[in-house]
Amino acid sequence: MEALASPARWVPYVLLLALHGWPGAGAEEFQLLQPQGAVWVSAGETLTLNCSVTALVPVGPVKWFKGSGSGQLVYAQVGSFPRVTRAVNGSNTDFTIRISDTRPEDAGIYRCVKFVKGSGPDEEIRSGAGTVVSVSARPSAPSVSGPPSRAEPGPPVNFTCTSGGFSPGDIAVTWLKNGAKLPAPQARVLPAHESISYSVSSIVGVSLTAGDARSQLTCQIDHSTLPAPLNATYNLSDALRVPPRLRVGTAPAAPVALNESVTFTCRAEGFYPKNASLTWLENGTETNLGKSSPLAENPDGTYTLQSSLEVNATEQRNQSVFICRVVHDSQLPVSANATLRISQVTAEPGKDPTSPTADSYLSEEEKIYIAVAVVCAVLVVLVIAVIYLIRVRQRKGKSSPSVRLHEPEKSPSTAPQDSDANNLTYADLNFDKQKKKSKHRFVEMSPQSEYACIQTGQPTATEDNLTYADLDMVHLSKAPKRPAPRPEEAISEYASVQIQRK
């Protein structure tokens, strides 16, 4: 009984009664005050959150949480919280805290909570209404990126502008090329949540030109936290590639005289960037005789490179092809060529001077021209031959007398053998129509030939001479012991030769 009468023994019971709201135990006098409803702070500044209690009882800690429910523990009297400190150290009623170096992710709802100690875990008995913290964060410096590799003038090339870490999420992005505004799609802002920071990404398509070697692209960002817009620039020369234009010429112009000095000139014009190399090839073989001029910069920022090659127009170099080849920015080579033509070439014995030498090299264009010329020449010759044959036939049909040789009836017993070499199966008759009675005709026959010729003397060079005879398979057999038959008189324009067989 004495133990129960001790005042110290009643303290736990009084606390429990106060915890359960027992009237008369002081529960109505205890209040937890969190007056701030909303707070705005700039990133980097120190955030102050106010909280206080009106009584020392019930006994228990006061803690700060971020978020709904139990949320994330921000501060407790026990533990380490590097960026959070008490505003009034050692106070039993003022639990105001300060958060230094505020960041966009510090935005959210903060609650001050009173706990009471018990036999088990601390129990929550009071909670503040909560303070909504908004952090105004400036966007980071924008960054502009171009295509992964250089692009040539033509189709649009995409460029991207990015920025992040800002709050609130309202932001404006503007693109400019050399100070002139470009149309661009709306910027993409992520994520759409007030409790964390935001990021932005904007893409614009730009069609490059050869003159963009000195152009600039600008990304401009406007935000409520900025006193002036933030800009980022990109040199379009970092994304531009302009292939060279090649021109090859000779001085003097072709054709040139034999053994004359000829200078080939190659100009690679309007290329960018400036890293380029130029080489010469003679009939496909690289030569080191070329002399390059210093690299020259054009007004638009592109470059020009020139090289010359001096050669002697020897006979062996006639029709030689000299190629100028340029390798630019590690790309495939670009080539142009010129052919050395000599106006006077001494022909070798037994060789056509117009034909190319063994070392000559014809371009594809020249080969096509030569082929077309040969085909046309063949066609012309064929047409002339056809016309000539038609006219010859017309003349023969009108004026040439016909001579036909007939042989007597053949008998089966006297038919010559095909293998007899003495048989004559063809005759060529020449009659002089103007000397019909003056001379006699004679027949020349060879015992080993199947050809016979009947002449009437030296024919005159006129078109009236008969130079062809049509024979119906007349077989003239050799008869060495009999005299040759006497031909008919020359007054007839038709002759028949009768030959007796063995």
Peptide bond connecting 353 to the previous residue in cis, omega within 30 degrees of 0:
no
Torsion of CA 434, 440, 445, 450, to 10 degrees: 40
Residue that is last in its domain, among 220, 238, 256: 238
* Domain tally, the chain: 4
Q: What is the per-residue pLDDT for 397?
A: 66
Written as six digits, the tokens of 382 are 């064929």
What is the rounded CA–CA span in Å between residue 426 and residue 404? 11
Read out DSSP for 20-74?
TT-TTSSGGG--EE---SEEEEETTS-EEE--EES-S-S---EEEEESSTT-EEE
The beta-strand segments (E) located in 407-486 are 427-430, 442-445, 452-455
The span from the CA of 457 to the CA of 451, in Å, is: 18
The three-state secondary structure class of 275 is coil
Whether 317 is covered by a domain: the verdict is yes
For residues 21 and 123, membership in a common domain is answered with yes
**What pLDDT, on a 0 to 100 scale, did the predictor assign at position 59?**
87
Asked whether residue 157 is assigned to any structural domain, the reply reads yes
- For residue 492, the model assigns a pLDDT of 43
In-domain check, residue 3: no
Q: Are residues 74 and 111 in the same domain?
A: yes
DSSP string, 356-386: --TT----HHHHHHHHHHHHHHHHHHHHHHH
How much is the pTM? 0.55
Q: CA dist 29 to 23, 156, 176, 466, Å?
A: 11, 73, 66, 158
CA–CA dist 104, 44 (Å, integer):
9
User: Domain span at residue 281?
Assistant: 245-339
Same domain for 180 and 198, yes or no, is yes
Structure-token pair, residue 191: 């994520």
Q: One digit per residue, pLDDT tens: the chain, 502 residues?
A: 333 334 444 344 344 444 444 444 444 578 999 999 999 999 889 999 999 999 888 888 999 999 876 789 999 988 889 999 999 988 989 999 999 999 888 888 999 999 998 777 888 888 999 999 988 989 999 999 999 999 999 999 999 999 998 888 899 999 999 999 998 777 888 875 555 788 999 999 999 999 999 999 999 999 999 999 999 999 999 999 999 999 999 888 878 889 899 999 999 999 999 999 999 999 999 987 788 899 999 999 999 999 999 999 899 999 999 999 999 998 999 999 999 998 865 545 454 544 444 444 455 667 788 988 999 999 999 999 999 899 888 887 655 444 444 444 444 444 444 444 444 444 444 444 444 444 444 444 444 444 444 444 454 444 444 444 444 444 444 445 555 555 544 444 444 445 555 4
In a domain, 380, yes or no: no
Q: How far is CA 461 from CA 432, 465, 467, 492, in A?
A: 10, 8, 11, 21
Which strands form 171-177's sheet, in the order they lie side by side?
Answer: 180-182, 171-177, 216-223, 230-235
- Residue 76 and residue 166 in one domain: no
Taking the C-alpha atoms of residue 478 and residue 412, their distance in angstroms, rounded to an integer, is 19
Residue 382 belongs to a domain: no
CA–CA dist 34, 130 (Å, integer): 7
Same domain, 42 and 85: yes
Domain termination residue (choose one: 286, 310, 339) = 339
Final residue before a domain boundary, out of 98, 116, 136: 136
> Side chain identity at 252, as an amino acid letter?
P
Q: Residue with structure tokens 């009471």?
A: 116
Query: In this structure, are 158 and 229 located in the same domain?
Result: yes
